[in-house]
Structure 1
Amino acid sequence: MTYSITLKTYQQTALDALAAFARAARTKSPALAFGERAGRPYNLDAFGPQVPCVCLRIPTGGGKTVLAAHAVPLLAREWQGSDAPVAVWLVPSDAIRQQTLKALQTPGHAYRTALTDAYGEGLQVCTLDDVAQIAPPDWGRHAVVVVATIQSFRIEDAGQRNVYSFSEGFEPHFKGAPEGAMACLHDLPDAVVTAQDAAQDATGVLAGFVGQPRWSLANWLALHRPLVIVDEAHNTKTDKSFTALQRLNPAFILELTATPIAAKTNVLYHVSAQELAAEDMIKLPIVLAEHPEGWPAAVFGAVQTQRKLEAEALKDEAEGHGYVRPIVLFQAQNVGDEMPPEALRRYLVDELNLPDNQIVVATGTQRGLDDIDLAARHCPVRFVITVQALREGWDCPFAYVLCSLQKLTSATAVEQLLGRVLRMPHARRRGREALNRAYAHVCAAEFSAAAHALADRLIQHMGFEALDVASMLAPPSSYPLFGEEYEQNSPLAPAPQALIATNFEAIAATPELLAVPGVREQTIAGAAQVVVAGHIEASTEALMLAQVRGAKKQEQLREQVARHNALVAASVAPASRGVPFAPVPTLAYRTDAQAPLWPLEQGAVLGTVELDLLSPQAVQLPGFHVVQESNVIEIDVKDARVTLRPTDVQQMAMDYGASSITADTLVRWLDQSLHKALHAPLAGITQSQRRAFLAAVVNHQLHACGLPLVVLAQARFQLARCIALHVGDLRDQAATRQFRQLVLQNGQAGAWLVESDWARPHVFAPGRYPAPVASRYSGRYQFTRHYFAVLADLKDGGEEFQCAQLIDRHPQVRQWVRNLDTAPCGFALPTSRGRFFADFVAELVDGRVALLEYKGAHLLSDPYEIEKSQVGALWAQASAGKAVFGWLTRQQDGKSLAQQLDTVLA
């Protein structure tokens, strides 16, 4: 059975960012390409300016492995121009290696499918020990993925690792290698046989190889310039790891981690917790119950939560949402303390009367989880007891509740257990809201203290940002289980929630500070400390910073203040408090007055468009130019120049670049490549139509442009990209004409009838604001009416920032959202090219909704921007006065921005 995974929006966005970087790095340099996209300097590390090394930062639960599987063919296509790449997939431990290897070798597994979709079943996935068994002719004809641990390559003395040892078993491989390719090995660390090696060789074999590259596994991999995937890359930022990666002679290094080392990592794309939650990858919020009474109350609370969740799960299954059995992960105390694992198990059985078969103990000495399928319906386990980390690679798909009997500030493995609890079963939202949240019961004096301790774990060890964490934690009073109130005097009853308060150990209670509202002095652990509740203003922060000496300590204090303010903002944001946002009507259409109402989307318009792909205009590629000079080929694709040399072009199974290549073979390759492309540029066109179009394109390049077939074949990846861009342009042109006629004419001369669709409105839901980390607002100004605690795509300062301030302060605005250009979380209107996501959506005090778009003066005359304004006006007109649209600029008809906003919202 084949299990394919439909990529989540953030996963596709991350891969798109990687593809765009790879294309730009080919035409410029990795450093320039990274700087343009990330807005930060590029760290060269030890790999030099020509070997890209970038990182995708994916928090716990984000699916790093599936991204890695899709990244291999992407980088082979966009960076190497290869149909048969060699990839070395490095993981941090042998347990993870075995798990990854099994998934990539299992027919039908989603990770393997991502590779076989690109390379077919000829794909070779192997261990280091199996590399020599792959026949030499298969290298360059089939994709090869080698799964290994970084430790296999990481050592100072190369002779201590088999991968670097001379092996006569590799003679058939090296004997046929071109001398020019072998020359690159001379520049690698420990790649060449030395006189000392020969002197220490008891067999005498090495005496004849002094000064020549070893016949070794590492050299064989290095000869093929592999793509290197590094999982948990934060573990590889050492000198030994750098040397190990250098020995592999990588073509491209892709790192994946939740917690990169900032000064040593080129983070190209950073996924946020909000993005994971919006895609149902993790459960949010974490409903955090604190139990100052001690561990008995925490244990009782966790058991009660499990019982109520299981009752909900049974109802959820009956409603068609599949089987789930909520599980509690207990983090017991250490042996020698009051409640170690066995004592907790006895307490659960003897005092709380839980069936013994529902409880499993999993520690370093007790392996109760071995050979248990926790997801199986017949499995009775509902409670798992551990102390430290569970074994690597272990997963608990139904984990819902974390109960830690240790202090969160000292518990060494709470983040791993929390990571299990955060994952959403089957990455699919449940029908019952209680099953879309995670739960934590901890032994802490108050919610604020527990939230701070848990936030530290989420930020420092699990890859989440402070602004994310602020909206991830909530007290039980905000989310009572199934809408019930907690019983009075129950051990499960939470303490009343107070304002978020933070104690600052290094700050003295000066009279100036104590005069600030919310600042008090409190004795904690026998020492007087400053405690601040509520938002910390810049002036208060300045008073605190004045007491701290040293740049590093001041930066730590700023981070603590920022984290505190984020927690405060999350606690007061309307979405965090469960306040609903007014529904926003979508657009729909009828073909005539008696026809049914259909959602108005770009696809509906495109469905009426017929492209003539055999016209003279269609078969020409105005953006594709090839110039061949001696052994160098220059290719321009839409003004992006790529240089190919013979050594850059790897051979396909049919030996591209050979004189036997035919035009029909190239057409078949183009058809397969474009059909499998991520965005399917020729979707909706039959294979016979595609083949006829591609044959006409190839013939035009051969005969009208005079390009040799061999050169065209060598430039096939660039040719495929240019065809995709060209077809996209043709679609845009045709769709623009059709959109203007069918939609913007609104009922005139055969156009569609456009209406508001209040039956299928857009809803801004709490926890559904996937704000990218790189574009978060982090300025000093405090927005008070933004619906979500996090605010995205807004810089501190500038015209859009001024517009947001005016909206936030306007007396007609109840609450507003900085709209994201991410479907389905952001609100969009259809256009001829896709969707238009206006900058701001506001709910007004009189119940209307407003769509507000700010435009700089340089865009006012752009035809596509004009089309957006027309669609917005059509949307407002169709609402019968229930919605308004504002097209705002710095100055318009003599009105300032504030005056324009007054006019729109009046």
Structure 2
Amino acid sequence: MELKKYQQAALDALSRFLTVAAAKGPAGAFAAEVARQAAEAKLEGRTLAPRRYVPLSEMAAVPYVCLRLPTGGGKTLLAAEAIRLGAEYVRKPHPVVLWMVTSDAIKRQTVEALKDLRHPYRVRLDAVTGGRTRVLDIEEFETLLPTDIGRFTCVVVATIQSFRVTDTGQRKVYAYHEAFEPHFAGLADDGMEVVTAEDVAREPLLAGREGRVKFSFANLMYHHEPLMIVDEAHNAVTGLSRAVQARLRPSAIIEFTATPRGVSNVLFSVTAGALKDEEMIKLPIRVRPHDSWQEAVRGTVVTRNMLEEKAQREAEFLRPVALYQAQAKNGHPTVAELKAYLIEHALAPEATIKVATGEQRELDGVNLRDPNEPTRHIITVQALREGWDCPSAYVLCATQKVASATSVEQLLGRVLRMPYAKRRRDAALNMAYAHVAEPSFAEVAASLRDKLIDMGFTDEEVRQSLRPATVEQDDQGHLFDPDPVAPKPVLTFEIPDTEEARAALGALAEEGAEFIRTDTGTLKVGVKGVVTQAVAGALEQHTPEADRPTLRAEFDRHAAQVAAALSPADKGAAIEVPFLMVEMEGDLFQADSALIMERVEWSLLSHPAQITEAEMSFRRAENVIEIDIEGEKLVYSQTQTTQLPLSGLGAPDEASLEATLVQWLEGRCRMPDIPTAELSPWLARLVSWLVAERNISVRTLIDWQYPLVTRTRAKIAEIRAGVQAGAHQMALFEDTAVLGTDPSCIARFDAASYANVPTTTTGAFRLQRHLLGPDRVPLIDGDLGGEEFQCAWALDSLEAVDLWVRNLPRHPASFWLPRVQGRFYPDFIARLTDGRIFVVEYKGEHLVTAQEAREKDLIGRLWAKNTGNVFLTVRRMQHGVGPVDQMQHAIS
């Protein structure tokens, strides 16, 4: 299973942190990683929130960090990968791992997954450990043998509650176990818990052992200093008492959560937007408020039926499922009431309904991916809160206010996962839906805000992802469209309030028809945007004959408003920008550094297998090793680590040790683009060179095998980066480079490109040439008085500009140019009146001399030269010339 980009980025951050923490301590390593991420974000025009490192009390030297991934981000998979990095940090090929979870339900789920040899989590774990894995439930700890430790990576899954106790006599993990005596043979017992008089009083068989070390699981953990993985329990470790922390003595703590409390120790954050880009979750969430739970249920059925009709046109089987949150026995609707309503009023066949509660477990053994399985509706109370995953769940029905005592946050999470982690052709199947028994979208949004943040969304992502599927009424009783993406004019009309009218309009909800019941016996109807023929017909049918001429006049007035509000994009205008193409070996493809690298034949064997004194020096006289990682000289003292011998060593002669070291290095330096046939001999050359040329004994190298493998991986990465830079230069900038365009490879900016992009009003500014209209723009860095908006305003003022739009960084429909490492997204895209494309990158004065800015300017000018278009890096002021004149000069 290939890791997603955001998953690999999280692991890379953890790897860098642990590497530096081994020498500089966790606080310094954390600060260095945070600074690195902030610098990278700044180059991309982003600003990261400040973060700080708070060490564990009395355990300041123990690394304790959190990786934040929203619901659906694959935390358990990453946790398995993190064990490899933790093993390198503690310098043990097979460490003891204490995997902490928050509840018995999650513990059972985790143990089952990690013990199943075919499960992706276990497959990943076995790949990390070389197949030498042993997984135990905490209840099975007595089966752990002394011969298991060190030979296998022993993963013990436990709940936090197993250890959180003041009186250790109340927990089995702290109890004396005679069978554990072989584990403690010859061990130093300093710091371990001893048998007390209270223990003897509880267990008379301990008489005579008072004051001697207790043969307990906790003491065993204390000795082996386990790597601690904490799943979904931020601050659970710090919530343990200092005494409990001391009893376990973890060597490192790595936490995975969607809901960190504050910013302390959050080493890396993955946004919900990143999950959407990787097609892991459905966004946005379309929320539809209703006056009653019955209306919410009817709306849910209509939405689910609509989605199933669309799903039948997809290539892969997909049957959308709706989740209904019933209330407990003292509330309404109960499970029985909801099921009866579904059958009798929503016309859902009983065979399509399943109940999943603590008492009724009708989902057990049901495969919802089976095309012959009829389930379409699932009723629950809280039974789906943990350990249940069904990506085909699309629609949530909350039958009470979201702010009620029964939380829907976990149920909401169930409808966010994307089926097969793959975006659908129909946009409706890429969104999640919620029908809520609460008449006001504003109140629903306010309530759901905290729920989504609890699931790992940021404040900004909540604003972008909560999309109303309705119109809203303000304090004056006017209906308006609260859509943050592209507000539309709203038709308002009142018709008599009848059950038939409510049913007819409810069935047309997906066509934009909404209504609010008034105190005067009418329905105040709102239709945003274009009024479809079906909606117009339904309104006319339920309007009294005498009022129909007025309704038709409203239709005409509204149609004129809709037409006037159409942006150039709404009218079909588009800007098409050709990507830069490169030809290599007769193959024309998009100029991307990674794709160029794939077509370059290179061999690791053609590069020197050497690690110089400057890169890594062993000062054996002082028993100290220095290692240079990413420009930081890290100093390790041999007294700081207890090194285990390499497993499987043969006879202790130098040749055998050298061969075993090469084999060990190979297992930890494998990379997808380097064949083993190249890697193994290169590593053999490296070890031989270190022994022969630098006069370092193989035993010394084995003593420092973990710093050596870190430096070796860095060396290989440096070689690859050099090859990639050379390939980038050769393919794009040498005289032999063949560059061009392809009509089929373009970035197209139109209404669909920005369908899900939040926009903001321009206030008093009215733009003349903006693709999305005169008064709304996609979010621009800074405020409307900021330098970037001033650049946009200057661009809009140019007579030679026909249309322009903001080019959003990392948006799948945006335009980009290749950098040696990564991609470059210019700020603005414009089409000139003469048909040329004008690409603008704005840089503040503090950045114009930066190496990255020069690289971007160079590739931008190369694109312009080879496509016949224009590229310009605009400065706030250049030689006394402002942005308008800079741009005017460039295009003339």
- TM superposition score normalised by structure 1: 0.78
Q: Could you say if the C-alpha distance between residues 71 and 596 of structure 1 is closer, same or farther in structure 2, counting changes exceeding 3 Å?
A: closer
8 Å contact kept, 2:285–2:467: yes
Of 394, 400, 418, the residue aligned with 1:424 is 418
Report the Cα distance in structure 2 between the residues aligned to 1:35 and 1:91, rounded to whole angstroms.
Answer: 28
Of 120, 133, 143, the residue aligned with 2:153 is 143
Amino acid at match of 2:267: L
Counterpart for residue 40 of structure 1: 51
Q: What is the SS of the residue equivalent to 2:745?
A: strand
Q: Which moved more, 1:613-622 or 1:867-876?
A: 613-622
8 Å contact kept, 1:87–1:227: yes
Q: What is the SS of the residue equivalent to 2:822?
A: strand
Report the Cα distance in structure 2 between the residues aligned to 1:608 and 1:387, rounded to whole angstroms.
Answer: 57
Report the Cα distance in structure 1 between the residues aligned to 2:841 and 2:879, rounded to whole angstroms.
Answer: 17
Q: What is the SS of the residue equivalent to 1:665?
A: helix
Counterpart for residue 74 of structure 2: 63
State how 1:147-162 maps to structure 2 within 5 Å: 147-162=157-172
8 Å contact kept, 1:744–1:870: no
Q: Could you say if the C-alpha distance between residues 388 and 720 of structure 1 is closer, same or farther in structure 2, counting changes exceeding 3 Å?
A: closer
Of 853, 871, 874, the residue aligned with 1:885 is 871
Cα distance, 1:58 vs structure 2: 1.8
Cα distance, 1:283 vs structure 2: 0.8
1:346-391 deviation line (CA, Å, top 9, x unaligned): 1222233321111122334333333333333332111112234535
Of 430, 443, 455, the residue aligned with 1:462 is 455
Q: Could you say if the C-alpha distance between residues 158 and 816 of structure 1 is closer, same or farther in structure 2, counting changes exceeding 3 Å?
A: farther
Of 861, 864, 872, the residue aligned with 1:873 is 861
State how 1:104-253 maps to structure 2 within 5 Å: 104-177=114-187, 179=188, 182-183=189-190, 185-186=191-192, 191-194=193-196, 196-198=198-200, 201-205=203-207, 207-208=208-209, 210=211, 212-234=212-234, 236=236, 239-240=239-240, 243-253=243-253
Cα distance, 1:147 vs structure 2: 0.8
Matched, 1:670 2:665: yes
Q: Could you say if the C-alpha distance between residues 216 and 840 of structure 1 is closer, same or farther in structure 2, counting changes exceeding 3 Å?
A: same
Report the Cα distance in structure 1 between the residues aligned to 2:651 and 2:222, rounded to whole angstroms.
Answer: 23
Q: What is the SS of the residue equivalent to 2:313?
A: helix
Cα distance, 1:497 vs structure 2: 8.9
Report the Cα distance in structure 1 between the residues aligned to 2:868 and 2:376, rounded to whole angstroms.
Answer: 54
- Paired residue total: 786
Matched, 1:840 2:827: yes
Cα distance, 1:201 vs structure 2: 4.3
Report the Cα distance in structure 2 between the residues aligned to 1:335 and 1:823, rounded to whole angstroms.
Answer: 47
Report the Cα distance in structure 2 between the residues aligned to 1:82 and 1:582, rounded to whole angstroms.
Answer: 57
Cα distance, 1:705 vs structure 2: 1.1
Matched, 1:476 2:469: yes
Counterpart for residue 715 of structure 1: 704
Q: What is the SS of the residue equivalent to 1:156?
A: coil
Of 737, 743, 748, the residue aligned with 1:752 is 737
Amino acid at match of 1:102: E
Of 675, 680, 686, the residue aligned with 1:697 is 686
Cα distance, 1:226 vs structure 2: 1.1
Cα distance, 1:702 vs structure 2: 0.9
Q: What is the SS of the residue equivalent to 2:158?
A: strand
Cα distance, 1:92 vs structure 2: 1.0
Matched, 1:72 2:92: no
Amino acid at match of 1:308: M
Q: What is the SS of the residue equivalent to 1:662?
A: helix
Q: Could you say if the C-alpha distance between residues 843 and 443 of structure 1 is closer, same or farther in structure 2, counting changes exceeding 3 Å?
A: farther
1:828-883 deviation line (CA, Å, top 9, x unaligned): 3234x3334145243457576544445577876777764543221111122223xx
Higher RCO (CA < 8 A, seq sep 6+): 1
Cα distance, 1:51 vs structure 2: 0.9
Q: What is the SS of the residue equivalent to 1:155?
A: coil
Report the Cα distance in structure 2 between the residues aligned to 1:573 and 1:93, rounded to whole angstroms.
Answer: 53
Counterpart for residue 409 of structure 1: 403
Q: What is the SS of the residue equivalent to 1:137?
A: coil
Structure 1 runs (4+) deviating above 6 angstroms are 477-480, 485-488, 495-499, 572-581, 656-660, 767-771, 780-790, 795-798, 856-864
Amino acid at match of 2:657: T
- In structure 1, runs of 5+ residues without a counterpart are 500-522, 525-571, 772-776
1:452-493 deviation line (CA, Å, top 9, x unaligned): 33324323x32322211111122336799xxxx999942244
1:584-633 deviation line (CA, Å, top 9, x unaligned): 322112359xx452222324543335457356586757512222245544
Report the Cα distance in structure 1 between the residues aligned to 2:105 and 2:355, rounded to whole angstroms.
Answer: 20
Counterpart for residue 491 of structure 1: 506
Q: Could you say if the C-alpha distance between residues 229 and 889 of structure 1 is closer, same or farther in structure 2, counting changes exceeding 3 Å?
A: same
Report the Cα distance in structure 2 between the residues aligned to 1:266 and 1:332, rounded to whole angstroms.
Answer: 38
Identity %: 35
Report the Cα distance in structure 1 between the residues aligned to 2:184 and 2:813, rounded to whole angstroms.
Answer: 54
Matched, 1:600 2:591: yes
State how 1:289-688 maps to structure 2 within 5 Å: 289-292=288-291, 294-316=292-314, 319=315, 322-337=316-331, 339-388=333-382, 390=384, 392-410=386-404, 412-459=406-453, 461-476=454-469, 489-494=504-509, 582-591=575-584, 595=586, 597-603=588-594, 605-606=596-597, 607-611=599-603, 613=605, 622-629=614-621, 632-637=624-629, 638-645=631-638, 647-654=641-648, 662-675=657-670, 680=671, 683-688=672-677
8 Å contact kept, 2:228–2:253: yes
Counterpart for residue 266 of structure 1: 265
1:224-243 deviation line (CA, Å, top 9, x unaligned): 11111111213726644664
Cα distance, 1:281 vs structure 2: 1.5
Q: What is the SS of the residue equivalent to 1:667?
A: helix
Counterpart for residue 87 of structure 1: 97
8 Å contact kept, 1:290–1:444: yes
1:106-151 deviation line (CA, Å, top 9, x unaligned): 1132111221112122211112243343332331222111111111
Report the Cα distance in structure 2 between the residues aligned to 1:626 and 1:425, rounded to whole angstroms.
Answer: 53
Cα distance, 1:409 vs structure 2: 2.4
Cα distance, 1:208 vs structure 2: 3.7
Matched, 1:830 2:818: yes
8 Å contact kept, 1:471–1:789: no
Q: What is the SS of the residue equivalent to 1:613?
A: helix
Q: Could you say if the C-alpha distance between residues 870 and 377 of structure 1 is closer, same or farther in structure 2, counting changes exceeding 3 Å?
A: same
Amino acid at match of 1:99: Q
Cα distance, 1:904 vs structure 2: 4.2
Q: Could you say if the C-alpha distance between residues 347 and 202 of structure 1 is closer, same or farther in structure 2, counting changes exceeding 3 Å?
A: same
Q: Could you say if the C-alpha distance between residues 670 and 854 of structure 1 is closer, same or farther in structure 2, counting changes exceeding 3 Å?
A: farther
Report the Cα distance in structure 2 between the residues aligned to 1:850 and 1:336, rounded to whole angstroms.
Answer: 65
8 Å contact kept, 2:609–2:683: no
1:788-815 deviation line (CA, Å, top 9, x unaligned): 99859x57899xx624542356415866
8 Å contact kept, 2:400–2:438: no
Report the Cα distance in structure 1 between the residues aligned to 2:139 and 2:182, rounded to whole angstroms.
Answer: 16
- TM superposition score normalised by structure 2: 0.79
Q: Which moved more, 1:619-628 or 1:431-440?
A: 619-628
Amino acid at match of 1:466: D
Report the Cα distance in structure 2 between the residues aligned to 1:842 and 1:830, rounded to whole angstroms.
Answer: 17
Q: What is the SS of the residue equivalent to 1:490?
A: helix
1:657-705 deviation line (CA, Å, top 9, x unaligned): 9776621111122222111xxxx2xx54443332222122111111211
Matched, 1:284 2:279: no
Report the Cα distance in structure 1 between the residues aligned to 2:696 and 2:592, rounded to whole angstroms.
Answer: 41
Report the Cα distance in structure 1 between the residues aligned to 2:511 and 2:372, rounded to whole angstroms.
Answer: 40
> How big is the alpha-carbon RMSD for the aligned residues of Structure 1 and Structure 2?
4.1
8 Å contact kept, 2:628–2:711: no
Counterpart for residue 42 of structure 2: none
- In structure 2, runs of 5+ residues without a counterpart are 35-49, 471-482, 492-500, 520-564
Cα distance, 1:314 vs structure 2: 1.7
